[in-house]
Amino acid sequence: MVKVAVYGKGGIGKSTMSANITAALSDKGLKVLQIGCDPKHDSTRLLLNGELPTTILEYLKQTPEAERSLNDVISVGYKGCLCAESGGPDPGVGCAGRGIISAFNLLSSLGIDSIKKDVTLYDVLGDVVCGGFAVPIRNEYAERIFIVSSGEFMSIYAANNILKGVSNYDPDRIGGIIFNSRGGPEEPGRITRFSEAVGIPIVATFDRSKLFAEAEENGKTVVEMFPDSKEAKSFRALGDLIINGKLNSARYLSESELEQVVLGRSITRQRTAREVPATLGSAAPDRKKRYTSRNVEDHDPYTGCAFAGAQSVCASIPNMATVLHSPLNCAQFAFQMASASAKRAHMYGSMPVAGFIDPRVDCTAMAEDDMVFGATAKLRKKIEEQISAGYDRIAVITSCSSGIIGDNVADTISQIESENPGVKIALVEEDGDINGDFMQGVIDAGVYLSRRFAVEQEKTDSVNIIGTKTISTNCMETENIVRAALEALGLKVNCAYPGCGHTSDIERITAAKYNLMLNPDRFTKQLCQQLEDDFGIPAIRHIVRPGLTGMRGWLGEIAEKFGRQREFEAYMKLIESEYRVRAETIPSVLKGKRVHVMSISKDIDWLLEGAESAGMVLEDIAVVNRVDYTNDTDLESRYPQVRVIETNDLGPEKERVAEAKPDIVFTSARLPVGILQVPIPLVQEDDPFFAIKFFTETARKLMAPAEAGWRRDVVRP
């Protein structure tokens, strides 16, 4: 079987050429399958008496998978030739290139390869150069490629681009140029010069003829209606060449070469500075600064996807609906992070985030046909369902699929808001992992929600808690600890952000005088920077940390900012007194134990304070300064013996520990067997007594028997 692709600029007559070639080959008794790969879906109408068949993509969209049949998308035309049209979306929506791929996939799944045929001819729009329209020139489809062109410059320009596209695959498949003249006197010279320059012969020439128009008015090819005409004879000769002709290698010209060859002159595009209108470049574009995750900024491999990160924030807000504009599998991957967090919180006896208990999350469930035709209608329906359910605050998060096909989500949201006064919709344009990693999505959700929902408010004696880790099991407990400390100073938490609070909290985020960072990581810093840039709210320098030293840092700075030093000292006196009492309850089994520390977190003062309170001996303290997993903020330590390891190779450090043989190593890394290792928790409660809890639990583990009793019961002699 011979597989042929006919390419050409839109409107240049390639469909007319293709249909007449198919008719000429059918006259010879060959079984021809012609597949139109153009959204206009008119490639085969001259073979079907002027009728337009149902397109493959229309069929894909309207017919359930179990009911699909090849006979429904294949029509029988002139002298038994077979006809199919891929079709495409309406102008301005969806992705026509993706439609070509979907059409080919459907034909394959329905068994097109099982049909006996001598020639398959693909009629392809050639001035669209995306990957979808390039599918027919891949090796598994077209063996021979012909290019239809007039002598007009833009038609030749498209022909040159087609040659460039073929050269990216197997270039030695060009059958030649089919010259379809528009009748201009300069055309023969232009097309001839181009043909000679690229080394591709003109294999057929068709002059402007009224026979084409007359045949088309009757829904027929020239070959069928005027079989004895000069044009019909030319198509029969071209049919022979298409089957048996010599193939050429695809060569193409640069733009400047093309202009010189075809037009006989060079066009200079570069302007001098004096030629640039004064209005251009006089004002910077009004673009908001982008706040990036560490992986995005450093161009490191992504961990997770921005779509999932944004969803983890939006789903945590209990009075806001979240619509995921994505396929179902993307939504499931993102949603499981919220559900898993709630389950873990229940398992460990923690307080789950309220929004995660029964999150209001829906999905547009984009399918194959949506990738072609667009899915803004589905999006509108889902948003309207949430509005009907009583939600006037909604977040829409876009996935890779909607981003790639260019769904106009912003306009859809704008229209819905204009139709529903009082409704506010925050668009979080993530486009899946195209926009970044999981942390980028968390940052973006915080930025977009505050920009959409925040309202200018009068300042109060309050602070915003920034950096709530919604998927952490102890985030609610940590927030409550901070709230209690601030209330002791007569201050209030204005908003906990992002996540956890209601949209009303976001609306009043501008009422706080300061932002308080809850974590020493990048997303907390970036959100604080955005809130300062957009709303003028500065951040407290000290970050909320566990332990006595940690609390004295952040709470003391807040007390100074608000003039509450007296209340602060009174509160700290109570906290320090209680700390000493609780420290007495740490089992004595830890006292005198020699301790080494190897941490991937720079925040270890709470750990060292606790070890001292337990009577342990601190021999060696090392922090691994790895940018891929350490804190984004350099936290100050009051312990001068802390060593910073600037290496990715921990082998020497492990050997150092093995030689020292300490009683206990508190570590974030796996060490040689035979050394008692206690893992350092990656996420701590910002509690002044957290170290007491941690070392009490560590002591209890040490006091447990080395071998569980049930083992002795089941081991047989």
Helix pair 14-27, 230-244: axis angle to 10 deg = 80
Residue pair 417/341 in contact by the 8 Å Cβ criterion: no
**Is 334 a member of any domain?**
yes
- CATH classification of the domain holding 521: 3.40.50.1980
- CATH classification of the domain holding 692: 3.40.50
Distance, in Å, from the CA atom of 13 to the CA atom of 43, rounded to the nearest integer, reads: 10
**Is 714 a member of any domain?**
no
**Is 713 a member of any domain?**
no
Distance, in Å, from the CA atom of 15 to the CA atom of 124, rounded to the nearest integer, reads: 8
* pLDDT digit string, tens, across residues 681-711: 877 778 899 999 999 999 988 876 655 554 4
Least confident stretch, 119-133, 203-217, 629-643, 690-704: 629-643
Is 123 a residue whose pLDDT tops 60?
yes
Is the preceding peptide bond at 498 cis, omega within 30 degrees of 0?
yes
**Is 340 a member of any domain?**
yes
Q: 263, 298, 330 — which closes off a domain?
A: 263
| Statement to judge: residues 695 and 599 lie in one domain | yes
| Statement to judge: residues 386 and 304 lie in one domain | yes
Q: 453, 469, 491 — which closes off a domain?
A: 453
* pLDDT digit string, tens, across residues 377-420: 999 999 999 999 999 999 999 998 888 888 889 999 999 999 99
| Statement to judge: residues 211 and 88 lie in one domain | yes
Element housing 28 (H / E): none
Is 157 a residue whose pLDDT tops 90?
yes
| Statement to judge: residues 512 and 616 lie in one domain | no
Q: 400, 429, 453 — which closes off a domain?
A: 453
**Is 269 a member of any domain?**
no
Expressed as residue numbers, the domain containing 523 is: 460-584
- What's 112-171 look like in SS3? HHHCCCCEEEEEEECCCCCHHHHHHHCCCCCCEEEEEECCCHHHHHHHHHHHHHHHCCCC
- What is the total count of domains within the chain? 4
> b/e map of 522-545 (b: 16 or more CB within 10 Å)?
bbbbbbbebbeebbebebbebbbb
Comparing 714 with 321, the larger pLDDT belongs to 321
Distance, in Å, from the CA atom of 394 to the CA atom of 380, rounded to the nearest integer, reads: 12
| Statement to judge: residues 508 and 376 lie in one domain | no
Counting beta carbons within 10 angstroms of the beta carbon of residue 489, is it exposed (0 to 12), middle (13 to 18) or buried (19 or more)? buried
* pLDDT digit string, tens, across residues 617-635: 999 998 887 655 545 566 6
The residue count of the chain comes to: 717
- CATH classification of the domain holding 9: 3.40.50.300
For residue 34, the SS3 value is strand
Distance, in Å, from the CA atom of 603 to the CA atom of 295, rounded to the nearest integer, reads: 21
| Statement to judge: residues 680 and 596 lie in one domain | yes
pTM score: 0.77
**Is 284 a member of any domain?**
no
What residues act catalytically?
A: 9, 14, 40, 127
| Statement to judge: residues 187 and 66 lie in one domain | yes
Q: Average pLDDT, whole number, for the chain?
A: 86
Residue pair 45/219 in contact by the 8 Å Cβ criterion: yes
Residue pair 209/231 in contact by the 8 Å Cβ criterion: yes
**Is 708 a member of any domain?**
no
For residue 52, the SS3 value is coil
The separation between CA 218 and the C-alpha centre of its own chain, rounded to angstroms, equals 50
Residue pair 540/554 in contact by the 8 Å Cβ criterion: yes
The tokens describing 370, both together, are 């949506």
DSSP state at residue 351: P
| Statement to judge: residues 300 and 375 lie in one domain | yes
The tokens describing 515, both together, are 């932002």
Comparing 420 with 128, the larger pLDDT belongs to 420
Closest among 371, 408, 404, 406 to 103, alpha carbons compared? 371
**Is 275 a member of any domain?**
no
| Statement to judge: residues 244 and 376 lie in one domain | no
| Statement to judge: residues 447 and 464 lie in one domain | no
Confidence of residue 470 (pLDDT cuts 50, 70, 90): confident
| Statement to judge: residues 326 and 252 lie in one domain | no
| Statement to judge: residues 625 and 566 lie in one domain | no
So what's the pLDDT on residue 132? 66
Distance, in Å, from the CA atom of 217 to the CA atom of 167, rounded to the nearest integer, reads: 38
**φ and ψ at 105, to 5 degrees?**
-65, -40
